[in-house]
Structure 1
Amino acid sequence: MTSFLFVTDLDNTLVGNDAALVELNDRLQKHRQEYGTKIVYATGRSPLLYRELQVEKNLLQPDALVSSVGTEIYLNGSNQPDAGWSEILSPGWDRELILSITDKYPELTLQPDSEQRPFKVSFFLEQAVASGILSQLELELQKSNLKKKLIYSSGIDLDIVPLSSDKGQAMQFLRQKWKFAAEQTVVCGDSGNDIALFAVGNERGIIVGNARPELLQWHNEHPADYRYLAQNFCAGGILEGLKYFGFLE
């Protein structure tokens, strides 16, 4: 057995199957102690909402937390975002300009203050009107030459983030920093905002059995033999995938 880089989404991926989570935590912790495996959580949650979940579900302390849809990286439990990553995201990003443009759309409801981050502007947007609003908004933001992208997930959450930011880019940043090969890296997810993890390279991918339709549709349109569709849900599906790829016995 050798060390590997383990990167997982939290809600409905790592978390949501308590019995399997206890077993997975135990196996990962032992693997980290014996082989130097690194554990990374990649979540849409802000640091505040992440800490609530960490306490509630007794999550392992990760080697890195990728939070707020990939816009912030915290290493080894630090409270300060990694400056190297922030530097990559800064060029062409203008938060105030984005807010002045989105202000014209009554369909967009700003999410709570805790979810607004230096490199992320977040709204609630009802699915019924989403497609029309998103295409209009995209055009208007383009006119301002902003280096940004829109991530719409779970039929309600709209995040506007820098173009160079997402869970996948953040994972690659850490993978290169810690010198793990793609073959030694495994990523796990369940929804639309995890597509970036699976699409960025040929890292091993585990799609949990309770994956949302938007991720399954993407997977069917972009099949790959280094991606595994689990039967079990949440942490149970991750365990299944880690054994399939030979990361765990």
Structure 2
Amino acid sequence: MTAFLFVTDLDNTLIGDDAALKELNQHLEQHRQEHGTKIVYSTGRSPALYRKLTREKSLLSPDALITSVGTEICFDPQEEIVDQEWADVLSQGWNRDAVVAIAAHYSDLVPQPDTEQRPFKASYVLSEEISSELLPRLESSLKEKGLDVKVIYSGGQDLDILPQKGDKGLALQFLRQKWDMDATKTVVCGDSGNDIALFSAGEERGIIVGNARPELRQWYEENKKDYHYFAQAHYADGILEGLYHFGFLA
């Protein structure tokens, strides 16, 4: 067994089955101690909501934390110091005020709480019923204003507008290069739309948990690769299933 880079979404991927989470934590911590495996959480949550989750669930301390849908990276979650190198990448061409001004024209976009509004992320709640009609209009408005941004809709309600160079997958690539970890020694895990960026970043081994949202299921069916695995089991149990499938655990 050798070191690998383990990257996972939190809500409804790592989190959802406490017994399975405990078992997975034991395997991962042992692997980290014996082989130097690195553990990364990649979440849509803000740092504040991540801290809240750590008080509710038994999570291992990660080697790096990707928050706010890939727009913030922290190498020491205890200190909560955002990596400036990654922030510099995202700041190029980003105009958050202009993004918010355009979004304000759409009354169906309900701003998420202040804690979820981040320097490189404008976040809203959008009902699934009208999303297919509103999203193309929003993207067109942003483009007309010359804003090179990325619109990510996930979980049937969460809408995030990010810099073009920011998402979970690009943040993963940044870490992988920083740590010189090969794609074949990297595994990513997720359940929803904002995790598609993790699975489409490169040839990293991907585990889609059995309880995945419809948007990720559809993407998987349309983009099948032999290095992507759709687990039968749910939550952390599905991650374990995938780790055994790819041979990261034996």
- TM-score, length-normalised on structure 2? 0.98
Aligned position for 2:18: 18
Return the letter of the residue paired with 1:80: I
Distance in 2, Cα, partners of 1:247 & 1:106: 47
4+ residue segments displaced more than 6 Å: none
- 5 Å-filtered alignment, 1:55-134, equals 55-77=55-77, 78-134=79-135
Distance in 1, Cα, partners of 2:97 & 2:214: 34
- 5 Å-filtered alignment, 1:1-249, equals 1-77=1-77, 78-249=79-250
Distance in 1, Cα, partners of 2:228 & 2:110: 36
Secondary structure of 1:188 counterpart: strand
Distance in 2, Cα, partners of 1:38 & 1:11: 20
Secondary structure of 1:220 counterpart: helix
Distance in 2, Cα, partners of 1:235 & 1:169: 24
Distance in 2, Cα, partners of 1:130 & 1:15: 27
User: What runs of 5+ residues in structure 1 fail to find an aligned partner?
Assistant: none
Question: 1:76, CA displacement in angstroms?
Answer: 2.6
> C-alpha deviations, 1:57-111, integer Å up to 9, x for none?
1100000110000000010323111001001101110011111111111111111
Bigger shift: residues 113-122 or 49-58: 49-58
Paired-residue identity, %: 61
Secondary structure of 1:92 counterpart: coil
Return the letter of the residue paired with 1:61: S
Return the letter of the residue paired with 2:15: V
Question: 1:132, CA displacement in angstroms?
Answer: 1.6
Secondary structure of 2:165 counterpart: coil
Distance in 2, Cα, partners of 1:221 & 1:130: 21
C-alpha RMSD of the superposition: 0.7
